[in-house]
């Protein structure tokens, strides 16, 4: 399961009921893994929140999401978002708190590279290798993440990366809020990466380019957005990935508030920019 952008308004310590319902639905479904593609709490604004307030927001998130999943024995793998761990200097305190909050909540997984946890890290489950990318600022990845991907993902049979910002734009008024890193695209080709998961654009859309799938997640919190080329705001939803032993990846999204209905791919744009809708690849 993939969840994303669960936060409410700036400074909020409450979560919409659909978030708890999503967690309940996930627990009943019993997935092998839950990934969060960032923005779990609502920081990164001015005036900057006090450390005590940020910690209260995290306590609310853990009570609503982390702790129920942990009690159910479902590992949660997170990646930093701009509203909870922005790498811009003005929000350094929030980023430090993010690191501290997850240090003691490290999931019981087979880690290949955990030196940068909970920012950049790589783990394996069920023969699939996953890499969390630290992408909370606009533009190409910072630091040595390209080299670490080369080292850790080159031998993966099935490779999935996940980050907050996407490589490509999906939603209206978020067109420039991307990684936009051609070198990373080339590296994906070299390594044979199968799938990149992202948040931030608050709209589900499954696309592909040059054999790599790029899936944007809907939000579970506030602020759903319209996909590029559409007018209506996207529904709240969570994403389900089913990865077969042969490496085939099936993607589905379930709409809130009860997650009983799947999003019909046929209702989504066939193309967004350079990306083609995933189901049209076959």
pLDDT band at 45, cuts 50/70/90?
confident
Structure confidence by residue, pLDDT tens digits, 114-153: 999 999 999 999 999 999 999 999 999 999 999 999 999 9
Q: What is the pTM of this model?
A: 0.97
DSSP letter string, 54-92: HHHHHHHHIIIIIHHHHHTT--EEE---HHHH--SGGGH
Q: What is the mean pLDDT of residues 166-192?
A: 97
Whole-angstrom distance, CA of residue 94 vs CA of residue 97: 5
Q: Is 242 exposed, middle or buried (0-12, 13-18, 19+ CB in 10 A)?
A: exposed
pLDDT score, position 281: 83
Backbone phi and psi for residue 9, each to the nearest 5 degrees, phi listed first: -70, 165
Structure confidence by residue, pLDDT tens digits, 201-230: 999 999 999 999 999 999 999 999 999 999
Does residue 10 or residue 205 have the better pLDDT? Answer: 205
Whole-angstrom distance, CA of residue 249 vs CA of residue 264: 17
pLDDT band at 178, cuts 50/70/90?
very high
pLDDT band at 18, cuts 50/70/90?
very high
Whole-angstrom distance, CA of residue 24 vs CA of residue 87: 32
- Where would I find the beta strands (DSSP E) of 4-59? 34-36
Structure confidence by residue, pLDDT tens digits, 69-96: 999 999 999 999 999 999 999 999 999 9
Q: What is the mean pLDDT of residues 49-66?
A: 97
Checking if the pLDDT of 282 tops 90, the result is: no
Of 198, 38, 169, 179, nearest in space to 102 by CA? 38
pLDDT score, position 105: 97
């Amino acid at each position: 399961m993939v969840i994303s952008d669960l936060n409410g308004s700036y400074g909020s310590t409450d979560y919409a009921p659909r978030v708890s319902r999503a967690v309940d639905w996930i627990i009943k479904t019993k997935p092998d893994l839950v990934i969060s593609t960032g923005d779990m709490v609502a920081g990164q604004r001015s005036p900057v929140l006090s450390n005590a307030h940020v910690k209260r927001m995290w306590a609310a998130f853990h009570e609503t999401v982390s702790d129920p999943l942990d009690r159910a024995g479902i590992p949660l793998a997170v990646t930093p978002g701009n509203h909870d761990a922005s790498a811009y200097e003005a929000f350094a305190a929030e980023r430090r708190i993010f690191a501290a909050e997850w240090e003691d909540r490290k999931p019981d997984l087979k880690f290949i590279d955990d030196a940068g946890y909970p920012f950049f890290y790589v783990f394996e489950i069920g023969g699939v290798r996953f890499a969390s990318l630290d992408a909370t600022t606009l533009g190409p990845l910072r630091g040595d993440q390209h080299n670490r991907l080369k080292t850790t993902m080159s031998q993966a049979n099935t490779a999935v990366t996940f980050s907050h910002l996407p490589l490509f734009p999906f939603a209206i008024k978020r067109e420039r809020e991307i990684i936009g890193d051609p070198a990373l695209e080339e590296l994906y080709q070299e390594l044979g990466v199968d799938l990149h998961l992202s948040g931030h654009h608050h709209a589900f859309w499954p696309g592909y380019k040059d054999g790599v799938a790029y899936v944007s997640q809907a939000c579970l919190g506030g602020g759903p957005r319209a996909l590029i080329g559409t007018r209506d705001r996207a529904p709240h939803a969570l994403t389900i990935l089913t990865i077969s032993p042969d490496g085939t990846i099936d993607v589905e999204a379930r709409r809130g508030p009860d997650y009983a209905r799947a999003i019909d791919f046929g209702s989504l744009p066939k193309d967004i920019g350079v990306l083609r809708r995933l189901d049209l690849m076959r």
